[in-house]
Amino acid sequence: MTAATATYREAVRSGIRRAIQQDTRVFLMGEDVGRYGGAFAVSAGLLEELGPERIRDTPLSESAFVGAGVGAALGGMRPIVEVMTVNFSLLAIDQLVNSAAALRHMSGGQLSVPLVVRMATGAGRQLAAQHSHSFENWYAHVPGLKVLAPGTVQDARDCVLAAVDDPDPVIVFEHQLLYNVQGTLDDDAPVADVWHAAVLETGTDLTLVTYGGSVPKALAAAAALRSEGINPEVVDLRCLRPLDWQTIIASVTRTHRMVVVDEGWKTGSLAGEIVAGVVDRGFYELDAAPERVCSVEVAVPYAKHLEDAVLPSVSRIVEAARKVMPRHG
């Protein structure tokens, strides 16, 4: 198969299918992943194609089925556990933080937990306060976990495959607004190095750092800025733990200015960690104070116009970019 147009959803499905076909230890489990095809239709058709041993519906209990995934990983399997949305993962945070993330350390390296947990994240679909969270930074805070957040169609496939191949627990965040996004998918391409950031567009005037669902917004903002004569570089983090400081610092060294776009709330955000890390590692490369574009610190509203006002937007990214640029006149 050569490169073709596919949706982000289809790319994730392709990664799951390939992982299961290549390794008898891999299986998918979660609420409604089988006959229903997944809450976001990611696993549609996989039960019929791969059978009930590999595509397993679970009871509606995140604590139970994520715990079962940890146990299966300890037993030598490589489970892919789908948690419907990130807010539901809070019901399994004990299994993820106190068990999966800690067992290699607590066993003195004798145990590994090759567990993949996929979950939908982010806002923008009018799912209101309880289903619109961006908790990527909560999990990126935890030693022992690795965190991926694909922002493109190809990375959606590659992040699944890279995560399954890893000996330690990996959380994969899939933004809800990306599932219908179309892009190029090369199913025959080798798995990309998603553990490092990607420079999606090169530039000379400032660095836009982002990930996941904010990638299309950053690219749209970059196009708008170029029409004003500002030439931004766009860095897609892809991996949130561990962060690829080498790529981030190299970009800031080229541009000397930075705007970080993060759908999480600003207080305690991943954006704050990135700014602090750049100041630690490259303070003298900066010609202006970095800017952060985050969600307004309120519960995400249901009403569409209010939801849009709360989230990072192209216009807010452009405004932040203008702030870090030199003033003329």
Question: How open is the CA angle 295-80-169, to the nearest 5 degrees?
Answer: 70
The predicted structure's pLDDT at residue 2: 74
**Can you tell me the distance from the alpha carbon of 31 to that of 25, in angstroms, rounded to the nearest whole number?**
20
Q: In sequence order, what are the beta bridge partners of 303?
A: none
For 173, other C-beta atoms within 10 Å of its C-beta total 26
Backbone angles phi, psi at 265, to 5 degrees: -70, 150
Q: How far apart are CA 122 and CA 305, in angstroms?
A: 16
> What digits encode the pLDDT tens for the residues 109-167?
999 999 999 999 999 999 999 999 999 999 999 999 999 999 999 999 999 999 999 99
Strand-pair category, 232-236 with 198-201: antiparallel
Whole-angstrom distance, CA of residue 213 vs CA of residue 36: 25
- Both structure tokens of 307: 């939801």
How much is the pLDDT for 327? 76
pLDDT digits (tens, 9 = 90+) for 215-227: 999 999 999 999 9
Both tokens of 275, joined, read 């700014």
Sequence-distant (≥ 6) Cβ neighbours of residue 145 within 8 angstroms: 96, 97, 100, 101, 139, 168, 169, 170, 171, 241
Q: Which residues are catalytic?
A: 62, 131
Residues 235-293 have pLDDT tens digits of 999 999 999 999 999 999 999 999 999 999 999 999 999 999 999 999 999 999 999 99
Does residue 208 register a pLDDT over 70?
yes
The pLDDT value given to residue 1: 53
Q: Is the pTM value of this prediction over 0.75?
A: yes
Q: Is the pLDDT of residue 328 over 80?
A: no
Percent of the chain with pLDDT over 70: 99
Q: Mean pLDDT over residues 30-50, rounded?
A: 97
Residue 152: other Cβ atoms inside 10 A: 25
Q: How far is CA 265 from CA 261, 292, 314, in A?
A: 11, 10, 17
Q: Which amino acid is at 218?
A: A
Residue 164 neighbours by CB under 8 Å, 6+ apart: 19, 23, 26, 78, 80, 114, 116
Phi, psi for residue 4 in degrees, rounded to 5: -145, 165
The DSSP code sequence of 112-172 is ----EEEEEE---SS--GGG----HHHHHTSTT-EEE---SHHHHHHHHHHHHT-SS-EEE
Span 74-85, pLDDT tens digits:
999 999 999 999
What is the pLDDT, as a whole number, of residue 186? 96
Q: Report, as an integer, the average pLDDT of 205-212.
A: 98
8 Å CB contact between 194 and 242: no
Q: Flag whether pLDDT at 188 surpasses 70.
A: yes
* Mean pLDDT score across all residues of the chain: 97
Q: How many CB atoms lie within 10 A of CB 224?
A: 16
Question: Is the pLDDT at 203 greater than 80, yes or no?
Answer: yes
Q: What is the pLDDT of residue 329?
A: 36
Residue 118 CB: number of other CB atoms within 10 A? 26
Question: What domains are defined for the chain?
Answer: 4-185 (3.40.50.970), 198-324 (3.40.50.920)
